[in-house]
Amino acid sequence: MILTGPRQFVRYRLFAAGLIGFCVANGPALPSLNAQDYPPDMARGKAVYEHHCQNCHGPTGRGDGSGAVSLKVPPANFQRFQSFLKSDEELLRTIEHGVVFSPMHAWRGQLTDGEMQDVVAYIRWLSEQTR
Ligand code: HEC
């Protein structure tokens, strides 16, 4: 008993350290768990964005795409604080259902749930590049 005591203590400390490490490593991912069930695929998000969104929202997400000039309603500028403050859920809903009386139409049916989540992650990444 006396001999196994310290060894058990070491094992406990290792376990505790592992537990803390696990929590720290997983901490930052927790807030987005509701909107994202799995890690976003940035490469796919980028491909979706370049194919479907860049023409209006622009290469850096400022809403200055080549197709934007002819629009009455300007495309959202993702770099603006107004967009930045919105939750992933809100952005996702806008992409899914579109905006009424706006060139931003619903993408449900054209993009899969996964593609929409990936493109949100890509928009987030774009908006962080200038900060
Ligand atoms: C035809 C041009 C056009 C295309 C293509 C387009 N959008 Fe938009 N988008 C807009 C416009 C215009 C708005 C602003 C709507 C408003 O505020 O009335 C907007 C708004 C948004 C918003 C809301 C931002 C906010 O701050 O609320 C998101 C998110 C968004 N677009 C994502 C996308 C994604 C993702 C794609 C590609 C799958 C895409 N858009 C394709 C024109 C476009």
- φ/ψ bin of 30: left (φ > 0), alpha (ψ from -120 to 50), beta (otherwise): alpha
For Cα atoms 109, 112, 114, give the angle at the middle one, nearest 5 degrees.
160
Q: Distance, CA 117 to ligand 1 centroid (Å)?
A: 14
Protein residue with its CA nearest to atom 8 in ligand 1: 104
User: Could you tell me if the CB of 46 is within 6 A of ligand 1?
Assistant: no
Q: What's the confidence (pLDDT) of residue 32?
A: 44
Q: What is the DSSP string of 45-100?
A: HHHHIIIIIHHHH-TTSSS--TTGGG-SSPPP-TTSHHHHTS-HHHHHHHHHH--T
**Residues 104-126: pLDDT tens digits?**
999 999 999 999 999 999 999 99
**Hey, where are the domains in the chain?**
1-33, 42-128
For atom 11 of ligand 1, the residue with the nearest CA is: 75
Q: Would you give per-residue pLDDT tens digits along the chain (131 residues)?
A: 555 666 665 565 555 555 555 545 554 444 444 455 578 999 999 999 999 999 999 999 999 999 999 999 999 999 998 998 999 999 999 999 999 999 999 999 999 999 999 999 999 999 888 76
d(Cα 52, Cα 108) in Å, to the nearest integer? 13
Q: Which atom of ligand 1 is nearest to the CA of 91?
A: 29
pLDDT, residue 39, reads 84
How far out from the chain centre does Cα 84 lie?
A: 11
Distance CA 24, CA 29 (A): 10
111 SS3 class:
strand
pLDDT of residue 30: 43
Cα 47 from Cα 126, distance rounded (Å): 13
The pLDDT of residue 46 is 97
Alpha-carbon distances of 78 from 21, 29, 33, 120, rounded to whole Å: 34, 22, 22, 10
For residue 25, the model assigns a pLDDT of 54
CATH class of segment(s) 42-128: mainly alpha
